[in-house]
Amino acid sequence: MSKFYVVATPIGNMGDITFRAVETLKEVDLILCEDTRETKKILQKYNINTPTMSYHSQSKLSKTDKIFELLKEGKNLALVSDAGTPTISDPGAMLISEIKESFSPKSSLGEIPLSWASGKMEVDVQVIPIPGVSAVVAALSASGLPTHEFTFLGFLPHKKGRETLFKEIAESKRTMVFYESPHRILKTLESLNKFCPNKKVCIAREITKIYEEFKTGTPYELLEYLTKNPVKQKGEFTVLVS
C-alpha cells in the first residue's frame, strides 16, 4: 500500500512545523510542492534532503499521471503548500479528490476496495493528514470573536458574486472568516462598512511573522486605521466578521 501524506507547514514562523511533519518529509520518496523554491527554505532549515517536484493549479495532466505512476510503484509521497495546510483554499484539493476516486485503501471490515487498476497492477493508496498550522484556526484562536460556530469563505471573488457574499456576511449569525490580499483590504472594509457597519471585525495580519497584528473594531474604524497607517496595509490578511 502506498501512502500519500498531506503535510501542514508553517505560515511564517519556521519553528511552527511539527516533529511528525519533519519526520514524514524525511521519510517519503518525493515531496510535491506548490513552489519548490519556497519549500526548499524549510527543507534546508531542517536538513531534509528528499527530492521535490512542483504541483500547482497550472500543472499539466502529465504531472498527475507521473504522481499516479509513482503510487502504482509503491512510492510514498507528501504534499505541501507554500504555507499552511494543503488543500485549504489550495489547488492540492483537486489532486486529493482524484486520488480518492482512483485509488482506495482496504477497509478494516474486509470490504473489497474500489481500487484503480492498470495492466496487472492493482494498488491501494492511503491518504494521511499530518496536521499543523492553518491561518484560519490561528486567526480564530486569538481574535476574541465567537468560535463555537464559523464559516470559512476562502478568498473572496474579485468581481462576480462579491456583493452577494457581503450580503451573506451581513445576514450571518455565525463568525465569517476569509482571506484577503493587501491590494484589496481597503475595498473589502469599504464593502463591510456598506453592508454591515455595526458588525465587529477583526483583521489578522502577518500571523506568526515579525509584524503580526490583530486589530478589532467596526469596519469604519479599521478602514480609518489602515488609511492613516499605509504601512499596516502590507502583508496577508485573515478577516473575521462577527
Tell me the domains of the chain and their CATH numbers: 2-130 (3.40.1010.10), 135-241 (3.30.950.10)
| Closest alpha carbon to 9 in 167, 136, 133, 188 | 133
| Predicted confidence (pLDDT) at residue 186 exceeds the cutoff of 70 | yes
What is the pLDDT confidence band of residue 179, given thresholds at 50, 70 and 90? very high
Please tell me the least confidently modeled range out of 95-99, 135-139, 148-152.
Answer: 95-99
Cα–Cα distance between 72 and 122 in angstroms, integer?
Answer: 8
119 backbone φψ class: left, alpha, beta (φ>0; ψ -120 to 50): left
For residue 46, the one-letter residue type is Y
Give the containing element (helix H, strand E) for 192: helix 185-195
Long-range contacts of 14-18 (CB under 8 A, 24+ apart): 14/41, 14/42, 14/45, 16/132, 16/133, 16/208, 17/42, 17/46, 17/132, 17/133, 18/130, 18/131, 18/132
Q: What is the pLDDT of residues 47-95, one digit of tens each?
A: 999 999 998 766 667 788 899 999 999 999 999 999 999 988 877 888 9
Task: Say if CB 204 and CB 143 are below 8 A apart.
Answer: yes
CB-based contacts of 185, cutoff 8 Å, min separation 6? 203, 226, 233, 237, 239
CB 228 within 8 A of CB 205: no
pLDDT of amino acid 91 = 77
**What does the alpha-carbon distance between residue 102 and residue 117 come to, in Å, rounded to a whole number?**
8
Contact residues for 239 (Cβ-Cβ < 8 A; gap 6+): 177, 178, 179, 180, 185, 188, 201, 202, 203, 204
DSSP bridge partners of 5: 78, 128
**Is pLDDT at 139 greater than 70 in this prediction?**
yes
Position of cell 483583521? 203
> What was the pLDDT predicted at 59?
66
Q: Residues 102-123: pLDDT tens digits? A: 886 554 444 444 443 443 336 7
- Pairwise CA distance, residues 216 & 118, whole Å: 55
How much is the average pLDDT of 212-238? Answer: 96
Helix-then-strand count for the chain, H and E: 8, 12
